[in-house]
Chains A and B, each alone.
Chain A
Amino acid sequence: MNSNFLRNDMVLMAVFTLVVLTMPIWLAPIGAGYPDLLQKIAIYGIFAIGFNILFGLTGYLSFGHAAFLGVGSYAAVWTFKLFSMNVVPAILFGVIVAGLFALFIGYVSLRRSGIYFSILTLAFAQMSYNLAYSVLTPITNGETGLQLSQGDARVLDHALGIAQSGLPTPSFFGMEILGWSGFYVCAVALIIAFFFALRIFRSPFGMALKAIKSNQNRMNYTGFNTRPYTLAAFVVSGMYAGLAGSLLAVTDPLAGAERMQWTASGEVVLMTILGGAGTLLGPLLGAGIIKYFENIFSAYNERVLHDVFSGLPNGLEQIVVSFTSLFVGEGWQLTLGMLFMLVVIFLPGGVMEGFRRLTKLFRRDGPQSPAGAAQPAE
């Protein structure tokens, strides 16, 4: 049984790695095969996978995870400014700072559960956002966002004699992080992050977290102190958010306060639930879907639609175009809202549930698809 699981997981990791690395090829036909969107999908995928470690496993619904993403971004950009343009210290620093911040907020917030916990995390994140936007401008550069400038110290780079004319670009030991190389850095990070998540899901620690979700009281009654476990899960997921945040800074060295707004925290909740909370792959799928809508659906305008429907007779084309344009371009959020409703109405358990049903349809008695192994939220 156990070795069987292991083999399955190795297959899963191999397939996952292959699928992620070939994203530029198989996503190209639907217009998503360009670096920025793929970077965003990978980064928000990491964010959602990390969020799911807390929410999917323990059931604690944090509404303030964007704060860790934002803090990670700020930490990474400050590393670029003060020390070096190398991405390794930036990522490390981003993850550590976000982890410490998560430790503090988690320690306080986990004293409460249920919706009280959600509102505590929300409150901390909103305070971070509001302060970063206004009073903390000397540190965050407020509305404009923290950016690199030519006059930055970059102590390490100067000491090592790495000089650049103009604004420097983040680099991985000499390899500049631009476009595709940016995507591959994110992709590797995503694969590693996924691997760790998989290990956590399968570990005794993960089991304990699931037990907390199913009945925390009973766990407590048996003398099992749940707090260290939930706090550990909180910090780990905060570090995932920090990783995502520093990768945002690595691929595009700018950190803005709006990354910490409640809408950003809400977005990762939506990604996770849309894909399937508690499943391994769901959050990544949810992140991909939402980012795809945001970037591709919003880009359709009437001219593009006219091209798409040019085969139709003239009058009909006009009607079809005017109708469709309600759902794309400036109407992309309408489509996204309807998608949320449809998925949750017809597929409780998110998109992964859809896959599970499909596999069931084809293999009535076969084993469950490994990706859908965990049960849906709550």
Chain B
Amino acid sequence: MDAFVLQLLNGLDKGGAYALIALGLTLVFGTLGVVNFAHGALFMLGAFCAVTMQKLLTLSVKVKDPGVTFFDAYKEIPYLEVWFGDTGKAVIDYAVPLSILLAIPVMLLIGLVMERGLIRFFYKRSHAEQILVTFGLAIVLQEIVKTAFGANPIPTGAPDAVAGSAAIGEWLGLGAAVVYPWWRLIYLAFSLAIIAGVFSFLQFTTYGMVVRAGMQDRETVGLLGINIQRRFTVVFGVAAVVAGLAGVMYTPILPPDYHMGMEFLVLSFVVVVVGGMGSLPGAVFAGFLLGVLQSFASMTQVKDILPGIDQIIIYLVAVVILLVRPRGLMGRRGVMES
């Protein structure tokens, strides 16, 4: 039972990340009809917003280490700490949550520039060409980050207050041994909140309703004299922000490096397709489903029966679902089928 609860939480947590990335991807598919291979790079850029924020906050006085003579080794004391003492320390400690404030405008800007500067010229081009150009863009973004920050992962910790574990075992009456890191619980809650936010934006605002209408039938909406194009550009910006925030909040779990986007790229495509093209709830549901299944497949009890199952579970599930349900879990007929 303990193991079950823990693996469920692991799965939901992973699923939260998958769902957030897939959500943006499927939004862009659904609105602009563009296969965006640079979406993983947006996730990565979000994570590097957190890195940048941390670097800014820890700009330091450098005290040279007298024991080292052949090069400059120094102990770094952040200015914030020098000037503001414990208050400064606390601010630095909250670098990751604070970088949300940085990530929202930055990612929105990146999204808008990307859409206006490049993506819009590719609406009518073949999917193959969209793949080539966005893949090229992803490589370029990645290499720029590598030049600036190096290839090594960069540690970005969660605030001390939530660095420990929550005693969920006691809450649920399972005993004290069942604990779960606070930050992962926060990540789960955060991803649910963002998903809810995106859905209510599309569901309950007039703006969102027009966007949804445009997803269904772009031409008719256009004929009604609505500038659907501009709204779709905004949607691309929103998708970038969602991917970016997913990246920011993931940094304490996965120390970011320039290549992390590529690793999530394939996975997020699988999630989107399993969910069904053009379906937002499908993408979210598939994200959580695959996350949870991946966690359970990694349990030793399962691996003893099916060796190596944790290596392939995601793809196996994808194959089975796509063969049973032609358009994924909730896909619409005719979207990206040819």
Binding site for B on A (CB under 8 A): 55, 59, 61, 108, 111-116, 119-120, 122-124, 126-127, 130-131, 133-136, 216, 262, 266, 269-270, 273-274, 277, 326, 331, 333-334, 336-341, 343-345, 348, 376-378
Contacts and interface: CB of A to CB of B under 8 A. Distances in A.
Interface string B135-153: 1111110111001000000
Sort A-B residue pairs by CB-CB distance and give the 5 closest, nearest first: A340-B136, A337-B139, A135-B308, A123-B315, A378-B126
Given A123-B315, A124-B315, A344-B133, A116 B139 contact: no
B160 interface: no
Interface of B: 35, 118, 121, 125-129, 131-133, 135-140, 142-144, 147, 266, 269-270, 273-274, 277, 307-308, 311-312, 315-316, 318-319, 322-323, 326-328, 331, 336-338
Given A124-B315, A345-B121, A348-B129, A336 B139 contact: yes
30 contacts: A55-B128, A111-B323, A114-B338, A115-B337, A116-B326, A116-B327, A119-B269, A119-B270, A120-B319, A122-B269, A122-B270, A122-B315, A126-B312, A127-B312, A127-B316, A130-B308, A131-B311, A131-B312, A134-B308, A216-B338, A262-B266, A277-B128, A331-B147, A334-B143, A336-B139, A337-B135, A337-B143, A338-B140, A340-B133, A344-B136
A113 B138 CA distance: 26
Contacts of A376: 126
A130 B311 contact: yes
A123 B136 CA distance: 23
A112 B338 CA distance: 10
B116 to A, nearest CB: 14
A61 to B, nearest CB: 7
B315 A127 contact: yes
Nearest to A111: B323
A112 B322 contact: yes
A166 B304 CA distance: 41
B138 A337 contact: yes
A279 to B, nearest CB: 13
Contacts of A126: 266, 312, 315
Given A114-B336, A114-B337, A122-B270, A340 B132 contact: yes
Which of B126, B127, B274, B308 is most buried by chain A, counting CB atoms within 10 A of its CB?
A: B126
A26 B188 CA distance: 59
A59 B338 contact: yes
B128 A61 contact: yes
Contacts of B311: 127, 130-131, 133-135
B147 A341 contact: no
Contacts of B136: 336-341, 344
Contact of B323 (A61, A108, A334, A348): A108
B131 A123 contact: no
Contact of A61 (B127, B308, B337): B127
A340 B139 contact: yes
A67 to B, nearest CB: 11
Given A119-B322, A123-B318, A377 B308 contact: no
Given A333-B143, A337-B137, A273 B338 contact: no
Given A216-B338, A336-B136, 17 more contacts: A55-B128, A108-B319, A113-B337, A114-B337, A115-B337, A116-B328, A119-B273, A120-B322, A124-B315, A130-B312, A131-B311, A269-B128, A269-B131, A337-B143, A339-B136, A340-B135, A377-B128
A301 to B, nearest CB: 16
A334 B269 CA distance: 24
A348 B315 contact: no
A331 B143 contact: yes
A365 B39 CA distance: 44
Contacts of B326: 111-112, 116
A122 B308 contact: no
Which of A114, A123, A331 is most buried by chain B, counting CB atoms within 10 A of its CB?
A: A123
Nearest to A216: B338
Nearest to A349: B129
Contacts of A331: 143, 147
